[in-house]
Amino acid sequence: MNKAFKDYISLTNDASNYLRNKNYSEQTIYKYNLIWKKLRTFIFNNKHEELNQEIANSFLKDFFDTKNNYTLHNYRRYATTIRHLLEYKTNSVMLLNRSSTKVKPKLEGSFGKYIISYIDTLHVKKLSKKNIDDQTTILSKFLIFCQEKKILLVENINVQTIVTFINETVGYSNSRIYSFTAIIRKFTFYLFDTNIIHKDISRHIPGVRKQKGQLLFSYYNQNEVTKFLETIDRSTGIGKRNYAITLIIVKLGLRAGDVAKLSFDEVLWDKNLIALTQQKTKENLVLPLTADVGNAILDYIKYGRPKCDSRSIFIKHLPPYTDTMTNTSVSSVITNVIRMSGVKIGERRHGSHALRHSLASLLLGNDVSHHIITQILGHKSLDSKTAYLRIDLKSMRNCILSVPPIKKDFYEQGGGYFYE
């Protein structure tokens, strides 16, 4: 066994222990190691010396090009697992997604200092916590990437550095590429605007057009939604939680972030209302607490929710039960519910937004006005209602105009030259 092979085994063993210390289950760690072993085989079959991002990209391309097992979910799972190993190899930490285990990135050195000062300006602008957290996460990834490439000073960043980072880190999602590019562009302009760097490279970063409003919304019909709910095992605490979460989105159309942060104080039992301030728009929203939604919440609180001091209704079922759900974890619940239902997804999206769009489709089918739908779904801009016209096929059919008949002499005018 050569040294490189031993080093890789040692790396994956240390990475596995790191996950254990973050309370990851043995089953999850086993799944991580399955992918790491496939990567190990690829590395040494191709006589590579050690793991790096370029080799990881080659493995992903080879694995998904030569095997008939590509799905976006599968690709992301492999890419994320390998990314975690690379992060651990470089910094002895992993930027894990779950909040209970998330490692706060180390923003060290002059590079890290400038990121911190940029983030401070976002607080001054009073941007939302989620916006600031997202930008911090992306810039932390950029810092780790630059450290791996031995770029330790912001003065040494150039357009090629940024393009390579986007290509190697982000993947194929257009919206994800757009977000990463936009944030890096803002950061580099900040560096120029504050005279930290002397060239405005933000102007030269290739633009990415955000595909907003170009595709039809994904939505599911009433029978499919009913099947989603029937699939959930409500005999367990997690099942009761997931059922209540799914039903709230199906019936009330709340965003994932609002469901995650729903507190006991926002459920007005005596008035049969849910009254909250939306995480995204900061606008107040009041919705009726229907009997089925209320019963599902009560069933979870009484018979499924672990005892804890959190004022949030929905929590993660991980000891010591101190972490509330997040936007991401609620979306993951919905994604798993839809996948486990057996409903044919096809090319449709299968997250919480798809269920919101399904509610919009149902309301449109019942001739509810667009204005009322935008109020129910908590849209701040009236322009948002135009998006739902794309799934209002019933109303669109009423706009079809019949083609008027054309007289025969039209084709024969001018001696019949029309045909020549």
* Same domain? 382 vs 274: yes
pLDDT of residue 215: 45
Residue 412 falls inside a structural domain: no
Report how far apart, in Å, the C-alpha atoms of 33 and of each of 103, 168, 252 are.
Answer: 20, 22, 41
CATH code assigned at 320? 1.10.443.10
Would you say 267 and 292 are in contact if contact means Cβ atoms under 8 Å apart?
Answer: no
Q: Is residue 215 part of a domain?
A: no
Considering the domain architecture, whether residues 198 and 233 belong to the same structural domain is answered as no
Q: Which residues contact 133 (CB under 8 A, 6 or more apart)?
A: none
Q: Can you spell out the DSSP letters for 63-101?
A: HHHHSS---HHHHHHHHHHHHHHHHHHHHS----SSTTT
The gap between the terminal CA atoms of the chain, to the nearest Å, is 81
Q: How many helices (H) and strands (E) does the chain have?
A: 17, 3
Looking at residue 148, its pLDDT comes to: 84
Residues 197, 306 share a domain = no
168 with 276, same domain? no
Counted residue by residue, the chain has a size of: 420
If DSSP codes are grouped into helix, strand and coil, which group holds residue 163?
Answer: helix
For residues 191 and 253, state if they share a domain: no
Full domain range(s) for residue 106: 3-204
d(CA 5, CA 1): 6
State whether 36 and 171 are in the same domain: yes
- Phi-psi region at 5: left, alpha or beta (left = phi > 0; alpha = psi -120 to 50): alpha
316 in a domain, yes or no?
Answer: yes
Structure tokens belonging to residue 29: 């760690």
pLDDT in tens for each of the 420 residues of the chain? 577 788 899 999 999 998 988 888 888 899 999 999 999 999 888 888 788 888 888 888 888 776 555 566 677 888 889 989 998 888 788 877 544 444 456 787 888 999 999 999 999 998 888 889 889 989 998 998 888 888 989 999 998 889 888 877 665 467 778 888 999 999 999 999 999 999 999 988 887 665 554 444 677 888 999 999 998 999 999 999 999 999 999 999 899 999 999 999 999 999 999 999 998 888 899 999 999 999 999 999 999 999 888 999 999 988 778 788 988 889 889 988 988 888 888 777 788 888 887 887 777 766 666 667 677 676 655 454 455 545 555 555 555 566 667 666 665 665 555 555
Count of C-beta atoms within a 10 Å radius of residue 330: 27
Domains: count for the chain: 2
What CA dihedral angle connects 83, 87, 90 and 91, to 10 degrees? 180
**Residue 398: per-residue pLDDT:** 59
Give the model's pLDDT for residue 173.
61
Q: Strands 284-288, 267-268: parallel, antiparallel or unpaired by DSSP?
A: unpaired
Looking at the domain assignment, is residue 198 inside a domain?
Answer: yes
Based on the domain organization, do 114 and 245 belong to the same domain?
no
Q: Quick check: is 415 in a domain? A: no
- pLDDT tens, position by position, 382-414: 454 455 545 555 555 555 566 667 666 665 665
| Shared domain check, 270 and 144 | no
- Cβ–Cβ contacts within 10 Å for residue 65, how many? 8
**Same domain flag for 258 and 305:** yes
* Preceding amide of 319 cis, omega within 30: no
Measured CA to CA, the distance from residue 78 to residue 102 in angstroms comes to 19
